[in-house]
Amino acid sequence: MIRRIDLIPSSIKLLIALSYDSAALSIAFFLSYFLRLGGEISVVGYSEFIVFALTVGFTLSCFYLLDVYSSIIRYFNAKASLKIIGILIGSACVCYLSSQVFDAFVPRSIPFSFLVLSSMLIAGARALVGFFVSEHWFDEREEVVIFGAGTTGRQLVSTLTQGNKYQVLAILDQKTQYQGRSLFGIKIHNLEYIKVLTKKYKNFKVLIAVSEVNPERMKQIVNQFEPYALELLTVPSMYDIVSGKHTIDELREVSVDELLGREPVEPIPELLSANIKDKVVLVSGAGGSIGKELCRQIIQQQPSKLILLEVSEAFLYEINQELTEFQVENNTEIPVVPMIGNVQNGMLMTRIFDVQRVQTIYHAAAYKHVPMVEKNVIAGITNNVLGTYEIAQAAVFCEVETFVLISTDKAVRPTNVMGATKRMAELVLQGLAKRDHQTRFVMVRFGNVLGSSGSVVPLFKKQIRNGGPITVTHPDIIRYFMTIPEAAQLVIQAGAMGKGGDVFVLDMGSPVKIVDLAIKMTHLMGYTVKDEQNPNGDIEIKFSGLRPGEKLYEELLIDDHAQTTTHKRILTANERSISWVEVHNLLIRITEAMNDENVAEIRQLLMDAPLGYVPESHSSDELENTENKADQTAS
């Protein structure tokens, strides 16, 4: 119906509006006489008709000249109503003054009656038509509750009440000065009122309208709503709204970052820029989750050149395009050089470092998916161990100043091949660090990052959207989590510390039980968990069993001893290392076994090496011991 109305030509709409207003003004004028004289209107003569004509002519002219007819009726609001009433007040004045000029019979009550009646017939009718014609009437709007009665909340309520998509049920705020008051006719309640709303309306969305809130506060807000299994959405930041990048009603899902977020620690500027500013920087694996974020943060530190090294053409194109757009938006002209290449090709690495005169390397290229590497042992060692060896040797040969390896918590007492290869890569760099050369090797070890390709978060989201079930390997499995931006920022700062051969570990905060994460994510997306207590729930959680080589818990230190550094979230570990001769001999033996494609011998060599690698058999006794340790860690 709305579309049919929109198809009517503007000239026809103007004619209809003029005809209606003329009729409404006539009715208001003569009805005023009728009410005043008790039905006797024979006194209306030639002079009174002149007053009538002048009043109507003045009113319609003002309506036309002041753009009353250019406004869209379906969006008729208080401001448009006040404009019409203001013109009608002028019309009432014209009515009275013209009666004096033409000596017409116009009792003093007539202009007031005319004003009231014409306002009802013109402004009131427009408001009524606007309500019926708008999508409010024909389309079912989504029910929402707004949290936050401050400036952002007020702007959001104003926008949504004028729009057609959402119906605001209530406003919630924890500040007592707002509670009990109304905003655009909508009552403001305390947070406890959410219980009443869920009982009354069952399902609705909660829009969090608080801007510039720190992660710890956002985490508290999210946790207060999470148990009610309501879909949570947040408004853009005030900066994005003011800059025009986003509008206030461009809502987004609450991310898991905000559910697990912690107060960020201000970076140390000197550490951020030490290995980057005015230097040629290369990132291997530039198209991966960590690699991309490293590139984003590196380019903000003004390197003289940034080289993107990636084996995947598609990933390389994606990050190169993103950085190009970033530079256009920020009016910078830092050379960005995308290069397709494999770190296993030592000659190619040497040529790139020599030609580009690379000074700092962030080595993020690696195979990191535990099950994939477990099934592809030779590929995993080729990339993670020999690839690291080749790119590190090339760095030494070309006198690269700093080489930072992105390691993992799975390198600590590894139970899988992936973890063993990353610990072996650390030993390679520790051995190289003891030789006489100009390159400073640094290793940075941390756990899972939210939203990376190997994270459970995107998998859980996909499973929830598909209606479940959510697959969790074990009810007691726990992991440490960190956001990708925080991890990359800490990696850059840790890379500026140490003298060479140092292993740094990042403070990952408190561990998270994966099954609890699955439940919280289900609730945040507006669904309930189906279990014995709630057999009618939406999403079921199934336990698939630990995968080959998977631990119930992860560690960041081998000897459980670490020393603090100048940054409160970066620790330094005093890990065991071996001489370069021992490392080299081990690499030779592993390479020979790989040439023979003898996977069993490769696994045995990894177990015999000083890596602490013990393949997880998942026997009942070992599983029980692991569960006990996981419980202690969680507590």
CA 563, chain centre distance (Å): 34
Closest CA relative to residue 48, chosen from 69, 26, 71: 26
Alpha-carbon radius of gyration of the chain: 35
At which residue do the structure tokens 């007492």 appear? Answer: 413
Determine the length of the chain: 635
What pLDDT is recorded for position 220? 80
C-alpha dist (Å) from residue 520 to 110, 209, 299: 67, 21, 35
C-alpha dist (Å) from residue 412 to 109, 158, 358, 420, 614: 92, 54, 31, 8, 11
| Residues taking part in catalysis | 410
What pLDDT is recorded for position 177? 82
Angle formed by the axes of helices 580-595 and 599-608, to 10°?
160
What pLDDT is recorded for position 531? 83
What pLDDT is recorded for position 632? 42
DSSP assignment of 375-425:
H-HHHHHIIIIIHHHHHHHHHHHTT-SEEEEEEEGGGSS-SSHHHHHHHHH
What pLDDT is recorded for position 124? 76
> Which architecture, in CATH terms, is 269-628?
3-Layer(aba) Sandwich (3.40)
What pLDDT is recorded for position 251? 65
pLDDT in tens, 16-68: 778 888 888 888 888 887 777 776 656 567 787 888 888 888 888 888 887 77
Domain boundaries along the sequence of the chain: 2-135, 140-254, 269-628
**Could you tell me whether strands 570-573 and 502-506 are parallel, antiparallel, or unpaired per DSSP bridges?**
antiparallel
Local structure of 207: helix, strand or coil: strand
Domain 140-254 shares a fold with domain 269-628 = yes
What pLDDT is recorded for position 418? 92
At which residue do the structure tokens 């790119």 appear? Answer: 391
What pLDDT is recorded for position 631? 44
What pLDDT is recorded for position 242? 46
- The CATH class given to the 140-254 domain equals alpha beta
What pLDDT is recorded for position 134? 53
What pLDDT is recorded for position 8? 55
* Residue spans of the chain under pLDDT 50: 1-7, 135-139, 242, 618-635
